[in-house]
Structure formats: structure tokens, C-alpha cells
Chain A
Amino acid sequence: MTGLLAPTYTVDPWDPGYGVARGDELDGRESTARLDVGLEVPAERWQPITPAPGPLPGSVLFLDGVQRIDARIWHHGDGPEPVPGIAASVAAGLVRCDGAAQIVDWKVDRGFFAEQGEDIKTRHATYAFHRTLGGLDKLTFGVTHRMSELEVELAARWREQSGAEDDLLVVDGPLRGRTHLARTVGYVKTHQKSYLQREQAVVIGALGPGQRSPVFGMGTSWERRSWYLRLPGATRAPWAAVVRLECSADLAVEEAVALADVTALVLPALASVPHKDPRAPQNLVPIGGLERQLKHRLGDAGLLYRSLRGAFAA
């Protein structure tokens, strides 16, 4: 360790536009989460786990969504002040990887999020009204909420159609609100809070590529099981290439451990590389590809903006 005598520097691997993958308050002090670190192994025996080879899922599904604010709208109602609103486009898609990556389903939805109003019909699209309370800041939560709904809708529809029993669904972001989906894990790329105490956090720093932490139980506003996984392509930045996965708390510990092993076997191969993805390696290749295509399918922003202005000018 030469750090004290000759301080060295590391450039964070993520594009600065996306923030940092790891916050600077990761000593666990701030966390109010209830932890159960002894779920898989006792807390004092925590160490990196190399997954045991086992049966792999027949296909891995990646679920992700994108959103874009097409315009901010002022609704001039009866009140003295106009009411703010947002016209936004959201899209969700599902990629199946089973030898070939294919977008098996996708959906675009456009909504008008405001406290009051009605559907906006434009030349190119219709924005369905969604009553959303709160100020300007809260409106964006409405958009995100709509996107999550779309994602759940797609996932449920696929599960209904496909009839596959051995697939694994990876949802981009926390699993909140989607815990009812079977064989599903949430995939969290950023770590704004540390849920672990210092002793366990050291183990995360020591993970080798493809290794995972033991499964631990976690409860904030909702209960789940979680584990950390290190992808290949790490730099010297702290917690580089580490992602956190979570699954439903309804699963038995053995089931959760098996799921953790499967993710540690499947996901490292899909890590992206820095010159192709600004959030490499955490932003997995299928998710990056899906996001690009979904953004494309949101439609041309300029065209939609003009059509919105046109709709009210007429």
C-alpha cells in the first residue's frame, strides 16, 4: 500500500453524465435497513463465493424501460395559476437471450401527467391523461411509475405466453413492485447506500470477477433477499464492476442461493466494455442494446414536440 506516501488517482469508469456507480457514504452508518447477514453463512464467515456449476436457465430475459419528457405543458384552468403537466413517452421491452438475443416484445406508451386535464390528441400520437398529484418534481415520478407498469405488463404477458419453466427474468433496477414475478431478479447498477457494515463491506471489495457475496436479507420499506456480484472489467475505482441483485423475500434461502449462483454464472459473460457503453461494465450488453432500440422507438423528439405545439395551436 503506497497510497499514504504517493497518492494515486483513478478515473471513475462511468461517463460523468451518468453519475457514479458508488456513492461516498458506503460505511453503512446512514442505512436504516434491517439486515440479516447470516442468511447464507454466519456473519463472521463472510467471504467471496465462487458459484458452483449447476443447471443454467434455458433462456435469460432482460426487462427494461426508457422514458423521455416530450414537452412540459401548462394547463390554464379555472384557478389563478396555470397547472404544470408533463407530456412524456415511455417504452418497455423484453430481450430474450437463448443463443440469440431477440427483442421478443416491446411497447411504447405516451402519457400526459398532470393534476387535471384530459387526453391530448396530436397529429402523430395520443397522450393519455394520467392524474398525477404534486408539483413539477413529483410529476416525473408519475412517468417512472407508468414505465414500471408497462414493464410489469410486458413481463406478465410474456410469462403467460411463453410457458417456459426454466427462464430467468432480469429486471433493470430494484425489484420493488415486481416481487410477484417468478424466477425474477432485480439488477441494481448503482450503490448510493451501503446496507452492509464495514466487516462485510470489505468482502465486497475483495470479490474477484464472477464471484458473489453471500446472500443476505434486507428490509427497508419492503423485504427482499440480496447479494453482490463482481463483473469482469474492473478498474481500481472503489466497488468497480460491482452490481447488486435482489430477489423476492418469499423465496426460501436455498432457492435464493441457487438463484444467486445462477446469476453469477450467467451475467458476467454479458458485461459490456468501456468503449461501447458509458456505464460499462455494469450496463449489460443486452440491456444496452435494448435501451438503444427503445429510445429509437420512442419516436423523433422534435417531431412529437412540434405535433404537441400544433395540437394546441389549432
Chain B
Amino acid sequence: MPEPNGATDLAVGPNGQARPVGLVVGTVAASPLEFSVGVAADQYLQLDDVVVTKRKLPDGSEVQIAGVVTQIEAGHEGARFASDVFLIEQGALPAEVSEVAEVTVTRVEPEVYVPPRPGSPVMRAEGDARDSALYFDTMADAKVPIGIGRDGQPVYLNFEFVDGTRGGHVSISGVSGIATKTSFATFMLHSIFNSGVLHGEAHNTKALIFSVKGEDLLFLDYENSRLTDAMRAKYGVLGLPSSSFRNVQVFAPPRPGDPSGTPDVRARDRAVSPFYWTLAEFCEQELMPFVFADGEDERAQYTMLIGQVAARLKRDYTKVGADGAISISGVEAVNGGPIRTFEQLVGLIEDELLDEELRRDWVAGSTSTGSVNAFLRRLRSAVKPLERLIRSDLKDRGDRSLTTSKAQVTVIDLHNLPDRAQRFVVGVSLRQEFRRKEEQGTARPLMFIVLDELNKYAPRDGDSPIKQILLDVAERGRSLGVILIGAQQTASEVERRIVANCSIRVAGRLDPAEASRPEYGYLPPAQRQRATIAKPGTMFVSQPDIPVPLAIEFPFPAWATRPAEKGAWTGVDDGPAPPADPFAGLDDDPPPF
């Protein structure tokens, strides 16, 4: 007796294979890249499920066609009017519910691009079939777990597209607060460090994290007290330890007005160092351009002056004392004396440049007074934000330079700093690390740079010294072993060349208007729509290996992300121990002002 209903239950395969989840439908044309599955009455398919079907060729060989469900539609067959649904539910009109899942093909093995035949059974891909469908079997030992798929199985990233072998850099987009971009970035680091993909380099591989917003990145080496056993189990599924980072060093700017230069961090007291630049370093390393790192600076007429002034400072400064104070030679005597603060330095430059005679020693003779005034105005406005960071009025205790050599993960806390100062720090430290890697000459061990708000530092329009460095990192970094993990609310506002150089693209919750921009062309329409309602912890990961972005959920961080979650500290602190008497040493070396 034929089954009276449209969809039928499918029997177990002849050799005891799994029951088909449905059949390839013929009402929607099947192509080698996309086909539709009529879901059997007692089965279901959800978005992101991985399915596989087979096609026999005349020579007896079999082509395996695997794909990911990218859309599912259910409807009433037998109903012609919307109101028929009431008749059907009242039991008057006979109709069948049909479910059709659209499958985007991910892999055809062997590569004979034929469509599946309508009526072919479609199986849920499990185990080896799933690994093959998602190319996990070709990743060999370059598999980095990045989360759990909708089917509860781990999803991997091909590390060769992260570490520079075949591609590099990661771009993470999403709405602030819900997209959990920085949590995902830190989870990726955790996975890279602990999954074994780095082999012997796991300990020497470094990460530099800029903490731009809030204090949530300052507790990477504290256990998360809210981590439950169920959450730990997810780490188990991924084969990762549910532990916090082991070796973290935090750098924070000195507290304003504190003569001992204590780092301005309230939430943690271990493995924290202050950071600032002495005036000697400012002159020696020509840091002046980073004072003018705003987009608006680039359009102004005075950009040439910046280089000229920086060059003069480098040429004529001399160090005074051990704390980085300087004196400049060849200037009015009243100004030449030891300079200990940024304000003093700016004052000197003002005095010199405003004098028509003296100006010629600093800048080209043709420079107009208007440009000089504009330059000085901008420089003067930088005094307030930068005087905490460029100074020689503190006793140098030897722990105040930004460095990534102290720990595996270096966090630079910028959240207390005004925008102008943030740009200065990001620009200077990026250049410093990039140069260090350039001089080192080898790509390995890798250096990961995590930077949020990429749209601020490398905007699509305009030019700035930071953008130049970021472009350098994006374009040359992968051969130097500098890998950028950039995060931004809107990828459409980030310099195109940077996004284009990212092999791995990740999207969390997206703003609906943003999701429709071409930058998210890698997401199929259904995923774009889904991205606008994605929950925290859900990410769409696109990698060059797999033609369809995969939706994943990454586990709740095993490290604290806020003071309330702080559990046991698991880090190391090899810096100078905090003195027993915090006031010791203040009397015998008083500040010189």
C-alpha cells in the first residue's frame, strides 16, 4: 500500500547505514553547487547541519557530494490561499506539511562536478563524513578548534591560513557588546596556544593585546569563578584545557599625579607595569609623528613640519641624568636646560618656532607662519592627553618600557587614556614590535596582535601613521610572523586593503544595515539575516578552505572578563616585588621640581 502522505518515513539502508534524512527534490533544480532536500516526515534538518549524498557515474565510480544546510522552508502542500491554513487546522482541508532544506555544496569528492539526482537519499554527515565535508581531514595537524557547531561537534580552523603559511590575519566584525568580539579573539589565542598546533613554539609565541574599552582584558590570568562544569565540558569537547592564561603582563599608564609612577589599574595588582616614554626616547625614536595621528592631521599643511621638527630633536638632544631628561643644543639658553616634561618640550618648540629668526634652524625657510601656527596649535592641544605618557620626571625603576619579552601575553591597557593618547600608544608600540620582528628576521615564533576598533586606527578614508603601520602589518606581516587579529564594529569602515588581507573573517551579531554591505559578501543571504539576531557567543567563521562560513558557538571564557568573575590567579609575576613600604625611597630622591 502506498503511503498516502506526501513525505514518507525512509527505511534503514540495505547495509545498515544510517537512515536518510531526506531525498533530493526535483521540483527545485539541483546543481553541482546547490541542491534541495525534501526532509522525511519523521526527521529534521536545521541550519548548518552537514549532509552528504552520492551520485553514481556510468563507469561505476561514485561521487560524494557534501554540503551545509543554508536555508530551510516549510509549507503546506495542497493549500492555495493563506486562509487555507485555518481550514487545514480545523480538519476540513487535506494538506501535507513539506520541509525543504537548501544545501550549499562544500565538497565534491572526487572533483567531478555533477549535480545529485533527484530522489537520491541524503544522509546526515557524521564522523569521518563530516570531517571530509568540512575539509577537516585535509587540515592534518594544522587544526585549531574554534568552537562547537550546531551539531555539537567541534569546528576547526586551518591554522595554515592564520600563521602566514598560506594566509594570515583575522578580521572580526560585530555590534559592540553583543558580538563578543574580544572574547572570541582571546578564545582564539587560548586555542592556538593550547591546541598543540604550535608544537614546540607554544611557549615562545607571543600575543600583544590592546585593551581599548573597559577592564575586561585585564584578568586573562585569573580563573573565571562563574565557569560551570557544563561550560568546562565544552572545552573538553574541543580538546582544550578549561584554564586561564598562564603568563600575562599588563602595562598601564602611570596614575596621574602619582610621583612614583604606579600603574593606573584598580582591578589587578600582580604582573602590572607602568609604561611611558622618556623625552630622550621621544627624540631618539622620532615619535613626534604619532602625536599627530588623527585622520584630520593628514589633510593639513603642516605635515612636513612634523618630520623636520622631529629630525632636529633627534639631532640636537642630549640626555641629562638617568631618568631620560634631555637638553637641546643650539637653542635659546633659557630653554636649553634640562627638560623633564612634555609641556616643557612643547614650550621650547613654541618659543623657537614663533621667532622668525630661530625658526629657520627648525624648519625650511619657505614655511608660512600659518602652517607653523597650525602645527603649534595641534601640538599644544596634545600636551594634556600626552603628558602622562611622555615624561622624564619619574624615577626610572627599569620596568616602564613596553615590551613583549616579559610574558607570553602582553596586555596594554588604554581604556583610561583619551583618544589622542590611545592613538599615540598604539602607533608607537605597533611600530616598535613590527621593527623588532623585522630585525629578528624569522617569522617564527609568531606574534599575534589583537586590536579592537580597527575602524578608528585604520579608517577607510584618510591616512595616518598608524594606518600605514597597520597596512604594513596586513601586507607584509604574514611573512614576518606578525599576525593581526583585528576587531571592528563595522568592517565597511575599515581600510579595504586590510580586510582584504585577512584570510579568516568572523562575524558576530551585525547591525542590519551593516550586514547588507558588500564587505559581508562572504556570508550567504540566510546567514547575513541570521547574523542580525545572533546571540552572544555565536560567530560565523569564514575560512578560505570551506566555501560556506560555519556558524559556531565558542565556550564561555575560562578566564575572568570582569572583576566579579575573578577567581584564583594563575599567572606569574617576575617583576620587582612590590616594596613592603610603598613610601620607601621617596625622600632620598625627591622629584626635581
| A residues adjacent to B (C-beta < 8 A) | 93, 95, 97-107, 269-270, 275-276, 285-286, 288-290, 292-293
Contact A286 B4 (CB under 8 A): no
Give the 5 A-B CB pairs with smallest separation, nearest first: A285-B92, A101-B94, A289-B93, A289-B94, A100-B91
Q: Say whether B5 faces chain A, with CB atoms less than 8 Å apart.
A: yes
Contact B91 A98 (CB under 8 A): yes
Q: Give the residues from 55 to 97 in chain B that come closer than 8 angstroms, CB to CB, to chain A.
A: 78, 80-81, 84, 87-89, 91-95
Contact B92 A102 (CB under 8 A): no
Q: Given A101-B88, A104-B4, do A286 and B94 touch, yes or no (CB 8 Å)? A: yes
| B residues adjacent to A (C-beta < 8 A) | 1-2, 4-5, 78, 80-81, 84, 87-89, 91-95
Q: Could you pull out 6 A-B pairs where Cβ atoms are within 8 angstroms?
A: A101-B88, A101-B95, A103-B4, A276-B84, A289-B92, A289-B93
Contact B78 A289 (CB under 8 A): yes
Smallest beta-carbon distance B286→chain A, Å: 80
Complex Cα gap A102–B41 (Å): 14
Residues of A within 8 A of B5 (CB): 102-103
Residues of A within 8 A of B81 (CB): 275-276
Smallest beta-carbon distance A140→chain B, Å: 27
Residues of A within 8 A of B87 (CB): 101, 285
Contact B91 A101 (CB under 8 A): yes
Residues of B within 8 A of A289 (CB): 78, 92-95
- Residue in contact with A269 in the complex, picked from B1, B88, B92, CB distance below 8 Å: B92
**Extra A-B contacts (17), CB below 8 Å, given A270-B92, A275-B81, A289-B92:** A95-B94, A97-B92, A99-B91, A100-B89, A100-B91, A101-B93, A102-B5, A102-B94, A106-B2, A285-B92, A285-B93, A286-B94, A288-B93, A289-B94, A289-B95, A290-B94, A293-B94
Q: Interface centre among B2, B81, B88, B91, by most A CB within 10 Å? A: B91
Contact A101 B92 (CB under 8 A): yes
Complex Cα gap A293–B95 (Å): 9
Residues of B within 8 A of A99 (CB): 91
Contact B4 A102 (CB under 8 A): yes
Residues of B within 8 A of A106 (CB): 2, 4
Complex Cα gap A292–B88 (Å): 14
Closest to A273 in B: B83
Complex Cα gap A97–B84 (Å): 15
Smallest beta-carbon distance A113→chain B, Å: 24
Smallest beta-carbon distance A205→chain B, Å: 28
Contact A292 B78 (CB under 8 A): yes
Complex Cα gap A106–B3 (Å): 9
Smallest beta-carbon distance B76→chain A, Å: 11
Residues of B within 8 A of A102 (CB): 4-5, 94
Complex Cα gap A106–B88 (Å): 19
Residues of A within 8 A of B91 (CB): 97-101
Complex Cα gap A289–B95 (Å): 8
Q: Interface centre among B1, B4, B92, by most A CB within 10 Å? A: B92
Contact A103 B2 (CB under 8 A): no
Smallest beta-carbon distance A197→chain B, Å: 36
Complex Cα gap A285–B78 (Å): 12
Smallest beta-carbon distance A10→chain B, Å: 25
Residues of A within 8 A of B80 (CB): 276, 292
Complex Cα gap A98–B1 (Å): 22
Closest to A59 in B: B91
- Residue in contact with A103 in the complex, picked from B84, B88, B89, B94, CB distance below 8 Å: B94
Closest to A288 in B: B93
Contact B4 A105 (CB under 8 A): yes
Complex Cα gap A225–B227 (Å): 78
Residues of A within 8 A of B1 (CB): 105
Contact A286 B92 (CB under 8 A): yes
Smallest beta-carbon distance A215→chain B, Å: 26
Residues of A within 8 A of B89 (CB): 100
Smallest beta-carbon distance B9→chain A, Å: 15
Residues of B within 8 A of A98 (CB): 91
Complex Cα gap A293–B94 (Å): 9
Closest to A102 in B: B94
Closest to B81 in A: A276
Residues of B within 8 A of A270 (CB): 92
Complex Cα gap A145–B418 (Å): 91
Complex Cα gap A99–B84 (Å): 15
Complex Cα gap A228–B81 (Å): 30
Complex Cα gap A285–B93 (Å): 6
Q: Given A276-B80, A276-B81, A292-B78, do A286 and B93 touch, yes or no (CB 8 Å)? A: yes
Complex Cα gap A292–B87 (Å): 15
Smallest beta-carbon distance B171→chain A, Å: 50
Closest to B84 in A: A276
Complex Cα gap A285–B88 (Å): 10
Residues of B within 8 A of A93 (CB): 4
Closest to B89 in A: A100
Complex Cα gap A184–B91 (Å): 20
Closest to A157 in B: B1
Residues of A within 8 A of B84 (CB): 276
Smallest beta-carbon distance B94→chain A, Å: 4
Smallest beta-carbon distance A120→chain B, Å: 22
Complex Cα gap A247–B80 (Å): 33
Closest to A93 in B: B4
Q: Interface centre among B78, B80, B93, B94, by most A CB within 10 Å? A: B94
Residues of A within 8 A of B88 (CB): 100-101
Closest to A285 in B: B92
Complex Cα gap A285–B84 (Å): 10
Smallest beta-carbon distance A232→chain B, Å: 13
Smallest beta-carbon distance B4→chain A, Å: 5
Residues of B within 8 A of A290 (CB): 94
Smallest beta-carbon distance B78→chain A, Å: 6
Residues of B within 8 A of A276 (CB): 80-81, 84
Complex Cα gap A102–B94 (Å): 5
Closest to A105 in B: B4
Residues of A within 8 A of B4 (CB): 93, 102-106
Residues of A within 8 A of B92 (CB): 97, 101, 269-270, 285-286, 289
Contact A293 B93 (CB under 8 A): no
Closest to A270 in B: B92
Closest to B88 in A: A101
Q: Interface centre among B78, B80, B93, by most A CB within 10 Å? A: B93
Complex Cα gap A154–B514 (Å): 59
Residues of B within 8 A of A288 (CB): 93
Complex Cα gap A288–B91 (Å): 13
Smallest beta-carbon distance A303→chain B, Å: 13
Residues of A within 8 A of B78 (CB): 289, 292-293
Complex Cα gap A289–B94 (Å): 6
Closest to A275 in B: B81
Residues of B within 8 A of A269 (CB): 92
Complex Cα gap A269–B4 (Å): 25
Complex Cα gap A172–B369 (Å): 101
Complex Cα gap A163–B7 (Å): 25
Smallest beta-carbon distance B5→chain A, Å: 7
Smallest beta-carbon distance B81→chain A, Å: 6
Q: Interface centre among B1, B4, B81, by most A CB within 10 Å? A: B4
Smallest beta-carbon distance B87→chain A, Å: 6
Complex Cα gap A275–B2 (Å): 33
Closest to B79 in A: A289
